[in-house]
Chains A and B, each alone.
Chain A
Amino acid sequence: MAWEVAVYNLLSVLVYPGIIFMVALALFYQWVDRRFFAKLQNRYGPIYTGPAGVLQPLADLIKLLAKEDIEPAAVDRHMFRAVPILLLTLTLTTLFIIPVAGPSALVWFEGDLIFIIFIMSLIAILAFLGGWGSTNMFSTIGGMRAALQSLGYEVPMAVSFIGPAIMAGSLSVSKIVGWQSSTAGYWTILLNPLGFGIVIVAFLAELERIPFDIPEAETEIVAGWQTEFSGRKLALIRLTFDLELVLASGLIAALYLGGPTGPIPFIPGIVWYIIKTIIVVLIFANLRALFARFRIDQMVSGSWKYLVPLAIVQIVILELLLR
């Protein structure tokens, strides 16, 4: 009946694998990331709140939500208030397109890969607007750096998405996952490891993590474009940060590692999804511990000198191998 389907859809969107599940997964991944990063540095991470410290990200989120939300008098009020909310909603929207619980996502249509690229550019523009609207010197510099950085990583990221699309013959993430799990397909990383490397580097820049956390460089410009946000707005921004990690790892797992499917048929798709995305999260954390921060000019010029040619090369190699 129509209303049963409607209730089922609503619960899927809100609870599983929708908003609440994604937020819980985001907080869990932040814990995984912090523990692994700490272990690489020969120290503990969060270990006290909850069993083995699992509730620490939730505690941090609740603390931020409870803090005073200071809005300086000189900010552009509408931009300042809209940016955290828009960031969160855009990220959540994109998450519905990633297959999580099975080979096809909650929402899919032909060309949703391009839609994802579009939303990522919007997120970068929103970071710039957040810095601009804050009217603070540090925020302006951070916002400008965010915009500059997106000039660097957008092209290699988009080109590295095209590789799996060519192999699967479709521009929809769900179709790509379906092709990889079908009998005619295989994990795209096997034929295209260069593309995997490029997408990891490009996503490090998109997620604003070391070595590319230039827009948010703590020791240089206090907190970059996030400087003036506090309280609830900062809580939303931090939550977006974690959700972007889920998004990035889910997308990489879907495009290159076969998504929520695996060789053993009895294990549900969600378990495969979690295993593969945790592997990607650990790769990110390892790269975070390994490198120092680049300068913005080095990042942009390095990206155009190395990443873009490599991205083009990997497409060419792929075409040659597939012929």
Chain B
Amino acid sequence: MQNEIAKSLVKKPSTLLYPFEKYESIPGSRGKVVFDMTKCIGCGLCIRDCPAFAIEMVGKGVTCDIKWYATRCVFCGQCVEVCPRAAITQETNYDLASGDKSSLVFEYKRLRPS
């Protein structure tokens, strides 16, 4: 074991100096959930299947808005899978922490015709 330890003296440490060095997420990793309201039809399948009850429909049907609670979400990606119009996507952004709880409720509103 001694030579293994001695080798560690010359190797670069394996620690990532977060937050000074950012971690590059591997593409495909499940992070922040984004809703595209131009495609959403308000079917409610994502709300039925969410295990953490993190999605809320404001209004009904094709004119609804969506609220996503980042504090409840477990980032499983079930909503991404089940949406029939592929309106939900997941970014690789995992760095969502904030000191203000109200900023962790993301509201996705439709553009209303003016």
A binds B: yes
Residues from chain B with a CB closer than 8 A to the CB of A290 are 1-2, 5
CB interface residues, B 1-51, toward A, < 8 Å: 1-2, 5, 8-9, 11, 13-15, 17
Bound CA–CA A290/B13 (angstroms): 18
Judged by a CB distance under 8 angstroms, whether A286 is at the interface is yes
Residue of B nearest to A47 (CB): B17
Q: Give the number of chain B interface residues (Cβ < 8 Å).
A: 10
Residues from chain B with a CB closer than 8 A to the CB of A40 are 5, 8-9
Bound CA–CA A290/B1 (angstroms): 7
CB interface residues, B 53-87, toward A, < 8 Å: none
Q: Are the CB atoms of A42 and B14 closer together than 8 Å?
A: yes
Judged by a CB distance under 8 angstroms, whether A39 is at the interface is yes
- DSSP majority for the B interface? loop
| Residue among B1, B11, B15, B17 with most chain A CB within 10 A | B15
Q: Are the CB atoms of B17 and A44 closer together than 8 Å?
A: yes
Residues from chain B with a CB closer than 8 A to the CB of A286 are 2, 5
Bin the interface of chain A by size.
Answer: 10 to 19
Residues from chain A with a CB closer than 8 A to the CB of B17 are 44
Judged by a CB distance under 8 angstroms, whether A289 is at the interface is yes
Residue of A nearest to B12 (CB): A42
Bound CA–CA A1/B96 (angstroms): 71
Bound CA–CA A39/B11 (angstroms): 9
- DSSP majority for the A interface? helix
Judged by a CB distance under 8 angstroms, whether A78 is at the interface is no
Q: Are the CB atoms of A44 and B13 closer together than 8 Å?
A: yes
1/0 per residue, CB under 8 A from A, across B87-104: the answer is 000000000000000000
Q: Are the CB atoms of B9 and A43 closer together than 8 Å?
A: no
Residues from chain A with a CB closer than 8 A to the CB of B1 are 290
Q: How far is the CB of A288 from chain B (nearest CB, A)?
A: 10
Q: How far is the CB of B31 from chain A (nearest CB, A)?
A: 26
Residues from chain A with a CB closer than 8 A to the CB of B8 are 39-42
Q: Are the CB atoms of A42 and B13 closer together than 8 Å?
A: yes
Residues from chain A with a CB closer than 8 A to the CB of B14 are 42-43
Residues from chain A with a CB closer than 8 A to the CB of B13 are 38-39, 42-44
Residue of B nearest to A42 (CB): B8
Q: Are the CB atoms of A44 and B9 closer together than 8 Å?
A: no
CB interface residues, A 1-55, toward B, < 8 Å: 38-44
Known: A290-B1, A290-B2. A39 touches B15 (CB 8 A): no
Residue of B nearest to A39 (CB): B9
Bound CA–CA A264/B11 (angstroms): 34
Q: How far is the CB of A114 from chain B (nearest CB, A)?
A: 36
Q: Are the CB atoms of B15 and A44 closer together than 8 Å?
A: yes
Q: How far is the CB of A117 from chain B (nearest CB, A)?
A: 31
Q: How far is the CB of A192 from chain B (nearest CB, A)?
A: 23
Q: Are the CB atoms of A43 and B15 closer together than 8 Å?
A: yes
Residue of A nearest to B14 (CB): A42
Q: How far is the CB of B46 from chain A (nearest CB, A)?
A: 42
| Residue among B1, B5, B11, B17 with most chain A CB within 10 A | B5
Residues from chain B with a CB closer than 8 A to the CB of A42 are 8, 11, 13-14
Residues from chain A with a CB closer than 8 A to the CB of B15 are 43-44
Bound CA–CA A93/B15 (angstroms): 41
Q: How far is the CB of B42 from chain A (nearest CB, A)?
A: 50
Q: How far is the CB of A254 from chain B (nearest CB, A)?
A: 27
Bound CA–CA A289/B6 (angstroms): 11
Q: How far is the CB of B15 from chain A (nearest CB, A)?
A: 5
Bound CA–CA A38/B17 (angstroms): 14
A-B contact pairs, 8 of them (CB 8 A): A39-B8, A39-B9, A39-B13, A42-B11, A42-B14, A43-B14, A44-B15, A286-B2
Minimum-distance CB pairs A-B, first 5 = A42-B8, A40-B5, A43-B15, A43-B13, A44-B13
Contact surface of A with B, Cβ cutoff 8 Å: 38-44, 286, 289-290
Told that A44-B13, A286-B5 touch, could you supply 9 new A-B pairs with CB distance under 8 A?
A42-B8, A42-B11, A42-B14, A43-B13, A43-B14, A44-B17, A286-B2, A290-B1, A290-B2
